[in-house]
């Protein structure tokens, strides 16, 4: 049987090995001659500078095994009649319905059209074409391959975009700091290279402001493909030599550069830094490709600057909190790193307690405000060396009330947590505290944590009325107050990690604040 009667004479010599992976095609037929003739007809075939990798299966069962091993099969030519009269049809249904493979292009080839009428098969089975073996000349076979591979490519792009969009949306929701920006940038970069049909190897770098191009710090922000290992803040010196050399050339000339196998984009920012995008490619980039790349790097650069600004504002707010707390401590003559240590002890207790990271950070940065209400207490009470009388003690207790009044005016979450801590850090687990006499879990967790952190650090600190307590004496008192002044679980956590908390004091002594 001559399946390719119109075979064109003068078969082209094999093409050079392409730079990118060939298209994977599976031939499913129980006749070895069909495999041989098909391979002969497709000798030298190439689409988009990619040749073919032809795999063979001589039964539907073998084809299932191949599909189980390979997820990159672009096209399968499937015979209808093999080990059974409808083996090919069963294979199609298995791939589409059981395996949910909607991407591979499936073409039925039959030498017995009566066994599987074309109209019924196309209607009832999710196939992409139906061909009788006798009608597939060499040219028609090649035309079929061009059409099917183009369809597979386009569907692959759509699927990649759909999947990528989901990842981009997830990453976008988390863009709150530089770490999540890396995830966002990598995802967008991956989708951009896919959209442009580029090699999936790309690298995005930030160049920090500096005096000259030679001494400016460069860090990777996003990377895909062969550069993926460099995406975790790698420096210029850690990048491949050729990439680093091209980056230096672009930085020196302060403009984009085109190379035979890559394009390097340069964009300066308002702070004196720069953004670099390195994209490898097989074919030269079109003007549209370059415009899309420029849009990408411009938007990521703006996002990064906005995040930096947000982080600067957040750090400024935190510094103001510590400055205010330090001022209160200084006024009450409890100078030193007390507020910093209370903050760190509270953070660690919150972590050990199992709170979410966001709640941990809020408690950490609001803890220094626990005694802010002392700013409203008269000096003669704050600085009294002896015991306070009943009236003075009643006024001193009102520092809790004053602290809440100061902080609750703000709508900021940090200040709200600060007000919660200020108003509850003198409550006791047994209900004998002040100002409300709350007990047990009725006391907000932030207040329970800071209450323990404050006392733990105060016991080990020098005050005008006492010397610092030794570690064992502190341990003993906390054990005694377990279930009375403090929540039992928190005391257990602190005592279990006692050396770790003592180390916080050693790392932040009173004479080395900052």
Q: What is the pLDDT of residues 157-174, one digit of tens each?
A: 788 667 655 555 554 455
What is the pLDDT at residue 211? Answer: 54
d(CA 488, CA 323): 32
Which tokens belong to 211? 């005096």
Q: What pairing do the DSSP bridges indicate for beta strands 129-132 and 202-207?
A: unpaired
The dihedral over CA atoms of 215, 221, 224, 228, expressed in degrees to the nearest 10, equals 70
pLDDT at 474 over 90: yes
Torsion, Cα 466 470 472 477, to 10 degrees, reads: 10
Do residues 341 and 466 share a domain? yes
Last residue in a domain, options 112, 127, 157: 157
* 378, 233: one domain: no
Average pLDDT over residues 368-396: 85
Q: Is the pLDDT reported for residue 453 higher than 80?
A: yes
Residue 4: its pLDDT value, please?
A: 40
Strand partners, 107: 77, 129
At residue 9 the predicted structure's pLDDT band, cuts being 50, 70 and 90, is very low
Higher pLDDT, 197 or 92: 92
Q: Which residue has the higher pLDDT, 57 or 180?
A: 57
Q: Output the domain CATH number for residue 93.
A: 3.40.50.2300
pLDDT for 11 equals 37
| pLDDT above 60 (res 512) | no
For 228-271, the DSSP string reads GGGTTT-BGGGS-HHHHHHHHHHHHHTS-EE-SSEEEEEEE-TT
CATH (domain of 385): 1.10.3210.10
Across 46-54, average pLDDT: 94
Determine, yes or no, domain membership for 384: yes
Residues 116, 91 within the same domain = yes
Query: How much is the average pLDDT of 62-82?
Result: 95
- Per the structure, the complete domain to which residue 151 belongs is given by 23-157
d(CA 84, CA 485): 81
- Is the pLDDT at 46 greater than 50, yes or no? yes
pLDDT value, residue 1: 41
Establish if 326 belongs to a structural domain: no
Range among 233-247, 326-340, 350-364, 452-466 rated most confident: 350-364
Of 52 and 375, more confident:
52
The answer to the question of residue 311 being in a domain is no
Q: Which residue in this structure is represented by tokens 């992409």?
A: 128
Maximum CA extent, the chain = 114
- Please tell me whether residues 124 and 196 are part of one structural domain: no
Q: Where is 462: in which H helix or E strand?
A: none
Q: Which of 280, 301, 322 is the last residue of a domain?
A: 301
Q: Report if residue 33 sits inside a domain.
A: yes
Give the list of residues 6+ apart from residue 17 with CB closer than 8 angstroms, or none: 51
pLDDT of residue 14: 41
In a domain, 8, yes or no: no
Give me the long-range contacts of 15-19 (CB less than 8 A, separation at least 24). 15/44, 15/46, 15/51, 17/51, 18/46, 18/49, 18/50, 18/51, 19/49, 19/282
Whether residues 207 and 66 fall in one domain: no
Within this chain, do residues 286 and 148 fall inside the same structural domain, yes or no?
A: no
Rg (CA), the chain: 35
Same-domain check for residues 258 and 188: yes
86 and 139 within one domain = yes
Whether 196 and 144 share a structural domain: no
Candidates 315, 304, 273, 297; CA nearest to 176 is: 304
Relative orientation angle of helices 471-480 and 445-459, to the nearest 10 degrees:
140
Task: Name the β-bridge partners of 482.
Answer: 486
- Please report the beta strands in 120-184, taking only residues with DSSP state E, as ranges in sequence order: 129-132
Which of 250, 197, 192, 245 is closest to 223 using CA atoms?
192
Q: Which residue bears the tokens 């539907």?
A: 60
Residues 344 and 254 in one domain: no
Interstrand relation of 262-268 and 105-110 (parallel, antiparallel or unpaired)? unpaired
- Whether 464 and 342 share a structural domain: yes
pLDDT mean across residues, the chain: 83
Give pTM, 2 decimals. Answer: 0.51
Same domain, residue pair 241 and 336: no
Most confident of 300-304, 333-337, 410-414: 410-414
Number of domains into which the chain is organized? 3
Which one has a higher pLDDT value, 433 or 226? Answer: 433
Kindly indicate the confidence band of residue 74, based on its pLDDT and cuts at 50, 70 and 90: very high
Bigger pLDDT: 110 vs 466: 110
The catalytic residues are 374
């Amino acid at each position: 049987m001559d399946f390719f009667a119109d075979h064109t004479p003068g078969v082209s010599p094999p093409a050079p090995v392409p730079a990118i992976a060939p298209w994977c095609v599976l031939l499913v037929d129980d006749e070895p001659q069909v495999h041989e003739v098909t391979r002969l007809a497709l000798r030298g075939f190439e689409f988009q500078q990619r040749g073919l990798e032809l795999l063979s299966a001589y039964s539907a069962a073998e084809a299932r095994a191949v599909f189980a091993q390979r997820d990159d099969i672009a096209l399968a030519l499937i015979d209808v009649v093999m080990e059974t009269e409808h083996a090919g049809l069963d294979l199609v249904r298995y791939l589409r319905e059981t395996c949910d493979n909607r991407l591979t292009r499936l073409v039925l080839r039959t030498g017995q059209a009566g066994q599987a009428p074309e109209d019924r098969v196309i209607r009832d089975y999710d196939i992409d074409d139906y061909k009788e073996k006798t009608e597939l000349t060499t040219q028609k076979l090649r035309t079929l391959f061009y059409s099917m591979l183009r369809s597979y490519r386009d569907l692959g792009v759509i699927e990649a975009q759909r999947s990528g969009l989901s990842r981009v949306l997830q990453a976008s929701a988390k863009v709150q700091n530089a770490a999540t920006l890396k995830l966002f940038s990598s995802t967008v970069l991956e989708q951009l290279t896919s959209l442009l049909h580029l090699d999936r190897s790309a690298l995005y770098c930030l160049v920090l402001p500096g005096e000259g191009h030679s001494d400016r710090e460069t860090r990777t922000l996003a990377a895909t493909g062969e550069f993926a290992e460099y995406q975790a803040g790698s420096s210029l010196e850690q990048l491949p030599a050729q990439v680093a050399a091209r980056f230096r050339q672009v930085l020196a000339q302060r403009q984009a550069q085109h190379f035979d196998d890559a394009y390097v984009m340069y964009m300066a920012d308002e702070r004196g830094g720069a953004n670099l995008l390195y994209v490898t490619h097989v074919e030269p980039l079109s003007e549209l490709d370059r415009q899309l790349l420029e849009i990408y790097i411009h938007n990521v650069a703006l996002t990064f600057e906005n995040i930096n600004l947000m982080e600067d504002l957040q750090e400024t707010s935190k510094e103001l909190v510590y400055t205010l707390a330090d001022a209160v401590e200084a006024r009450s003559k409890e100078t030193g790193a007390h507020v910093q240590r209370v903050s760190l002890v509270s953070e660690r207790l919150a972590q050990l307690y199992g709170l979410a990271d966001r709640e941990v950070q809020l408690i950490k940065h609001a803890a220094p405000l626990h005694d802010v209400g002392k700013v409203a207490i008269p000096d003669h009470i704050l600085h009294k060396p002896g015991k306070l009388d009943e009236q003075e003690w009643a006024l001193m207790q009102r520092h809790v009330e004053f602290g809440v009044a100061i902080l609750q005016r703000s709508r900021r979450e940090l200040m709200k947590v600060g007000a919660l801590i200020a108003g509850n850090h003198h409550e006791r687990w047994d209900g004998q505290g002040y100002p409300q006499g709350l007990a047990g879990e009725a006391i907000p967790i932030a207040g329970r944590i800071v209450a323990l952190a404050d006392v733990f650090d105060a016991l080990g600190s020098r005050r005008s009325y006492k010397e610092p307590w030794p570690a064992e004496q502190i341990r003993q008192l906390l054990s005694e107050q377990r279930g009375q002044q403090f929540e039992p679980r928190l005391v257990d956590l602190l005592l279990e990690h006692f050396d770790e908390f003592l180390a916080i004091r050693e790392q932040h002594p009173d004479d080395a604040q900052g």
